[in-house]
Amino acid sequence: MRRTVLALSTILLASFGILSAKQAATQEKPSSTEPTMTPEDVAKKNPVAATPEGLAEARKLFGYHCAMCHNKDGDGKGELATEMKLELHDWRDGSTLEKMTDGELFFIISNGKGKMLGGEGDRTPEKIRWNLVNLVRAFGKKGAADKTKAATPSS
């Protein structure tokens, strides 16, 4: 009887040791689930022309899903971004946007980037995501126009 209890105790302890080792091994290998942008993604051209209707549709979605971080005007100072101490691009700054292709913006909108969870790829039709690219570009054009107005001396 003692041998049986001793043998079962030994097996039980060995099982816990193996289980702990497996858990430690899986925790040591952090895997990146962030999708990788390919040259094909970067080279994509926006097939959707910017229209008032398309921009209005994109602005509505932006208000629901994006403004909490990027703010309603695209300055990157939304309430959640501020709380999380995130430093986001100011999409009103045209110089930031001219460095990015439409394909890059579309990829980020679709898949997310960094702490931007998920993206819109699994829940938003492609046409609307391209309209979001148009909206982000429109933030940059509006920002450039605002800077021009500020720089022009008034009579």
User: Is residue 25 scored above 80 in pLDDT?
Assistant: no
The residue range of the domain holding 81 is: 39-150
Q: Tokens 């909490």 belong to which residue?
A: 68
Q: Is residue 22 part of a domain?
A: no
pTM beyond 0.85: no
Q: How many domains does the chain have?
A: 1
What pLDDT sits at residue 29?
44
Instruction: Give the CATH number, domain containing residue 63.
Output: 1.10.760.10
Q: Which long-range contacts (CB under 8 A, 24 or more apart) does 93-99 make?
A: 93/140, 93/143, 94/140, 94/141, 94/143, 94/144, 96/140, 97/136, 97/137, 97/139, 97/140, 98/140
What one-letter code names the amino acid at 6? Answer: L
> Over the stretch 40-65, which tens digit does the pLDDT of each residue have?
999 999 999 999 999 999 999 999 99
Please, are residues 46 and 58 in contact by the beta-carbon 8 Å criterion? no
What pLDDT sits at residue 96?
84
Q: Is residue 19 part of a domain?
A: no
Mean pLDDT of all residues belonging to the chain:
81
Q: How is residue 125 annotated by DSSP?
A: -
Of residues 33 and 134, which shows the higher confidence score? 134
Q: What is the CA radius of gyration of the chain?
A: 25
Q: Is residue 8 part of a domain?
A: no
User: Is residue 22 scored above 50 in pLDDT?
Assistant: yes
Confidence of residue 130 (pLDDT cuts 50, 70, 90): very high
Q: Is residue 30 part of a domain?
A: no
What pLDDT sits at residue 123?
86
Q: Is residue 105 part of a domain?
A: yes
Confidence of residue 155 (pLDDT cuts 50, 70, 90): very low
What pLDDT sits at residue 100?
92
Q: Is residue 144 part of a domain?
A: yes
Q: Is residue 142 part of a domain?
A: yes
Q: Is residue 125 part of a domain?
A: yes
Provide the percentage of residues in the chain whose pLDDT is more than 70: 72
> Over the stretch 141-154, which tens digit does the pLDDT of each residue have?
875 555 545 545 55
Q: In three state form, how does the secondary structure of 60-100 look?
A: HHHHHHCHHHHCCCCCCCCHHHHHCCCCCCCCCCHHHHHCC
